Every structure is written in C-alpha cells, then in structure tokens.
Structure 1
Amino acid sequence: MVTGATGGLGLEVARELARAGAHVILTGRDPVKGNRALVSVRASVPNADLRFNPLDLAALSSIRAAADSLRATGTKLDILVNNAGVMAPARRMTTRDGFELQFGTNHLGHFALTGLLLPALAQGRGVVVTVASLAAWRGKMPFDDLNARRRYGPFARYSQSKLANLAFALELDRRARVHGARIHSRAAHPGWSSSDIIANSAALGEASGRVARTLRKAQKSIGGAVFRLLGQDVAHGALPMLYALSPDALDSGYYGPQGAGERRGFPGSAAIPPAASDAVLARRLWEVSEELTGVRYDWETVS
C-alpha cells in the first residue's frame, strides 16, 4: 500500500513496485485521480497488478474505513509506504477532526493508519517506510501547541510534521523490537525533488480551479527549473523510498540522496537530526498521538 499514490513520488514508488511484480494498492483522496494513476502505471507496466482504494488521511473516519476494508478481505500487507503529505498552506487549515492540517495529515494520519493496519502488516513482511524530509532538520515539537492554535507558520508547521514523521519511524522500530513484533520500520527522504505537493497544498481550500492550475504551471516552469538545477526529478526522488525496501536497508535506517546537502543523487544512508533521535521526545509524541487519534497499537496480536 502506498499513500498519496495518485501523483508525484507516491505514483513513482507504486509504478516501480508494480514493475517488480507486487500487487499494489494505490490510495488517495480523489477517485478520479486514482483512476488516472492506474492508467498511468499500466501504460508503463502493462501487466501491473494494482487497484485504487480511497483514503483521506485528513479524516480519521476515512482511515478507519480503509483499514476495515483491508482487514475484511484478510489481505496480508507486506509493505506500507507512508508517503502522502501536505506542504505549507498559506493559512492555517484543519483536518476533519480539528487537527492542524499538516501535523494531522502528515503525521497523525499515518500514525493512525499504521496502527490500524498492524495485524495485516504482521501477517505479511511488515515493512513500513515513512517519508520524511530535509525540513525535519528545522523542525521543533511544541507540545503545548502541536495544532498551531496560537501560532501558525506554514513552513515551521511543515517542518514539525516532517520531524514527527522521522521520530515516529524510529520509535516504531524501538517498540517493535521491545515487543518482538514482526514489523520493520525504516524512513526515507527524497532530497529536493519536484512534485505537485507545493501547488496541491497551496491550492487547498481555494474556490477557483484557475488558482490551482496557475500554481501548478508556475511550479513546473519556475520551481521545476530550480529543482532540476539543485535537486532532482520525481523518478530519482523516489529512489530512497525504494532503497528502503531493498535487502540492503536496515530497520531504523534512514535513507536519502548522497549528493551535496542530500539534495540529489543516488540513495544511501541519510543523516538523522538530533531531535528525531531523542527517545524522550519520540515517546511523548507517541503518547500524544495515541490520545489525539484514539488509536493504540495492539502489540500482543503481532508478537
């Protein structure tokens, strides 16, 4: 299962997993984009074994419905790629459950999804790859205001959510080891990779489709040139996530491009920000995430 697989990095990861012979479940908010993604993958991988499942990570009800649907079929889940993300909306927005949109979608949504899918993961290979970002280096975890009710800065809250992603991946590995669970947690980041995340996020909540189209056009022309110069395209940006699924990857490993500043290049081990390695911070974040989402990991059933 790949979250946020209707475009960008998620679509590329799904494509390559299908090329390798996996049965791939693509997820996303928009069924129309989902169908287009299926067509896109099958155009390059004619015999691809895949399907689309609706999943809105900004709604706990949607997350529970998706997990219930998978469990009802008895599907064993070998791989979960926690990729979907929202980046820096200009104004504070919230999920359906009232969480700040970036923290709620990027972290809390994936925290809940992973916990609810834990039994299915334990029945399969149980590999979980969570996508972080270089922005995690700038992240802070304001536990007294995680949902930005008092203060909102678009990129500060994005960095917070990406620090949460990485801290979650490392804490998931710690807890799996303590409980002897068949879960293998890794993390990856794409470096500076051009995708639709900025334009899609900036257009959230806008009434005019013209606004979204203008933002996407600007990103492709201006932002795309910058990323091509200093970063890399989506296909190369997806490589660290794929590397995290390879036999060379280790549990608790963090992978990213090996070029200057980890912005571009072929994948390998990435530097971990000190805050993400803080076990006390990660434990507190885990406990708060349980309280906010109502999802508690049932380790007894997967050990």
Structure 2
Amino acid sequence: MSANAKWTEADVPDQSGRVAIVTGSNTGLGYETARVLAARGAHVVVAVRNLDKGREAVDRITAAVPKADLKLQALDVGSLDSVRSAADELRAAYPRIDLLINNAGVMYPPKQTTVDGFELQFGTNHLGAFALTGLLLDHLLPVEGSRVVAVASVAHRIQAAIHFDDLQWDRSYNRVAAYGQSKLSNLLFTYELQRRLAAKNELTIAVAAHPGLSNTELMRHIPGTGLPGYNQLASLFTNSPAVGALATLRAATDPDVRGGQYYGPSGFREMVGHPKLVESSKQSHDAELQRRLWTVSEELTGVSYPV
C-alpha cells in the first residue's frame, strides 16, 4: 500500500486459522470489527453482556458473511465474576488465542458503580479489560503474531488525569473527566504491557487504537442525541461505525504494526478519516504513571500477570 493510500477493510490480510476475541461486539465498532475479521476467515468470539443482542449480531454477521465462523460468549466486563467465568470458559475452549480486542466500554453515563463498587467507566473500560487480558494472556504468549488491542479515545487528552486519591470519584463526579481517566488508563496499560512483553522477547505485542468521533450507541449519553435529525447531522462530522472500526482492525491485523503503537483517524484532529499511525499524549507515556496504575489495577482486580 502506498504512503498516501487510504487503509480500508480490503487491506485486512487473510485471518484463516486465527482466533479473535472481540468484546462488546454486538453493536457499533465491535460489531464491525467482528464482521470484518469473520469475513477474512477468523474464528471470532462475539463476547457480549447481553446474549440476546449477541445472537442478533451473530445472525446479522452470518447473513452478510455466510461462511462466518462465530462463537457467542457471555461476558460483562463490568463484573469481575463475569470476567473470571468467561476467562475460564475461553481458556478451556481455546488453547491458543491470536487476537484479544478490548473494545467493550461505556461513555459519559450518570454516576454509577459496577457490581464490584468501581466507578462505572473506570471499572468497565479499564479494570474489566485489565482483568480479562491478565487471565487470558498465557494463551496468547506462545502464539506468533498474537496481539492485545486496546480501544482508546481522543478523550484521553481531555481533562484526563489518574485520580489516585479518588479513583472511584466518590467525592465528586465529572462524567467527561471520568471517561478521560478511563481512556488514559487504556493507553497507560497498553504501553506498560508492551514494555513487559518486550523485556521478555515475547511473541505477543500490545497496541492501541481509537475511532475518532464515531456515531455509535456509545454516544447515547451525549445531550441532544435523541433529537430529530441528530443522526443526519452527526453523519456530517463523525465516522460511521464501519470507518471508525478501521483503526482497531489495522492495529489488530496490519503486518507492519509494532508493539506500543497507536492508530487513529487521519482527518482533522484525528476526529474522522481512515486510520494512520498517531501519537498519544505525553502523559500517557509517563513510565512511573504506567507502573503505578498497573500496581493499583492488580490490587483492585486481584489479577496478576505472567509477565
């Protein structure tokens, strides 16, 4: 592909024989990611909280890709019990895992907590993904070309800090800042995981991607989304889910991707467009911050890593 060409789903290499787990893949970015991987021949695990919606997604993908090889898996990343149960089932079913795509997440909800008592965005977007990755990682480590992909956000730059003195936003709650914290956590986690993998010369790499502004169900808590004409207006300044998912797909499948890289849209301020290699904030590369968050995450989830 030339330097100026747009990377599209047609650039996804053959995925035959590969096992890909995509969390939150019943709708939006996750659905499009699962659809394309299935179309390229991967065995795709559609890992979702709502099994009814998951079955609908499986049926939709199968209608579009008749030869799709799909497995539905119950997984609520907002519950550590569910994460552990799903990880046990996945470990039993798949001795080798090629791709783990941590896509599931929530954005800008009113103040809520997970069943484990964590602020909903931090608990779902970061801690659930951290726990799942740690529990599955030893099934990726022996697999050449295996990858852990975090779906981050440009919001990691917006009012983003790790509030170690009040991680669960008990004293006050700002849903935008809390989302930013969770997305900054995704990147800090990815870079620290990659450092640990590289130190042991593992076959697995950790990479991240973000979709820019994509018009998906994730935006349902943004004021005005229910107004007449919103979708038509949003289509003018957002990516469709299919285009938004391309950054994830590139991070997951492009043979030129290297560990610790970050992919996002090529358009204005990385809001829209086809994916390219992008840069995250200086704060996300703070090694001390990465290590501190890692330690806290192990303590909160009870999950320790084999690297």
CA contact (8 A) 1:12 1:238 kept: yes
CA contact (8 A) 2:184 2:284 kept: yes
Q: CA deviation at 1:70?
A: 1.2
Identity across aligned pairs (percent)? 47
Counterpart amino acid of residue 129 in structure 2? H
Q: CA deviation at 1:217?
A: 7.0
- Per the normalisation by structure 1, the TM-score is 0.90
Aligned to 2:191, which of 161, 165, 170?
170
CA contact (8 A) 2:84 2:135 kept: yes
Counterpart for residue 225 of structure 1: 232
Question: How many Å separate the matches in 2 of 1:119 and 1:226?
Answer: 45
CA contact (8 A) 1:3 1:83 kept: yes
CA contact (8 A) 2:219 2:225 kept: no
Question: How many Å separate the matches in 2 of 1:69 and 1:108?
Answer: 19
Counterpart for residue 297 of structure 1: 305
Counterpart for residue 141 of structure 2: 122
1:243 aligns with 2:261: no
Question: How many Å separate the matches in 2 of 1:288 and 1:110?
Answer: 14
Tell me the SS of whatever aligns to 1:187.
strand
Counterpart amino acid of residue 250 in structure 1? R
- Per the normalisation by structure 2, the TM-score is 0.89
Counterpart amino acid of residue 65 in structure 2? V
Question: How many Å separate the matches in 2 of 1:234 and 1:226?
Answer: 15
Counterpart for residue 77 of structure 2: 57
Counterpart amino acid of residue 47 in structure 1? K
Counterpart amino acid of residue 78 in structure 2? A
Counterpart for residue 109 of structure 1: 128
Q: CA RMSD in A?
A: 1.6
1:110-144 residue CA offsets vs partner (Å, 9 max, x unmatched): 00000000111123342011000010011111111
Counterpart for residue 14 of structure 2: none
Tell me the SS of whatever aligns to 1:13.
helix
The 3 A distance-change label for structure 1 pair 296 and 219 is farther
Question: How many Å separate the matches in 2 of 1:6 and 1:220?
Answer: 25
Q: CA deviation at 1:74?
A: 4.0
1:45 aligns with 2:65: yes
Counterpart for residue 271 of structure 1: 279
1:67 aligns with 2:87: yes
Q: Whose helix proportion is higher, 1 or 2?
A: 1
Aligned to 2:263, which of 251, 255, 265?
255
Aligned to 1:85, which of 105, 130, 135?
105
Q: CA deviation at 1:47?
A: 0.5
Counterpart amino acid of residue 154 in structure 1? R
Question: How many Å separate the matches in 1 of 2:94 and 2:244?
Answer: 33
Number of matched pairs: 284
Counterpart amino acid of residue 244 in structure 1? A
1:20 aligns with 2:32: no
Question: How many Å separate the matches in 1 of 2:225 and 2:174?
Answer: 25
Q: CA deviation at 1:270?
A: 1.3
The 3 A distance-change label for structure 1 pair 106 and 220 is farther
1:30 aligns with 2:50: yes
Tell me the SS of whatever aligns to 1:114.
helix
CA contact (8 A) 1:196 1:216 kept: no
CA contact (8 A) 1:10 1:84 kept: yes
CA contact (8 A) 1:3 1:28 kept: yes
Counterpart amino acid of residue 14 in structure 1? A
Gaps of 5+ in 1: 203-214
Question: How many Å separate the matches in 1 of 2:229 and 2:304?
Answer: 44
Give the ranges of 4+ consecutive aligned residues of structure 1 lying more than 2 Å apart after TM superposition.
Answer: 123-126, 179-182, 224-227
Question: How many Å separate the matches in 2 of 1:118 and 1:216?
Answer: 40
Counterpart amino acid of residue 176 in structure 1? L
Question: How many Å separate the matches in 2 of 1:178 and 1:226?
Answer: 47
Counterpart for residue 161 of structure 2: 140
Counterpart amino acid of residue 227 in structure 1? A
Tell me the SS of whatever aligns to 2:169.
coil
Question: How many Å separate the matches in 1 of 2:59 and 2:93?
Answer: 24
1:74-114 residue CA offsets vs partner (Å, 9 max, x unmatched): 43110011001111112x11111100000000000000000
Counterpart amino acid of residue 188 in structure 2? A
Counterpart for residue 202 of structure 2: 181
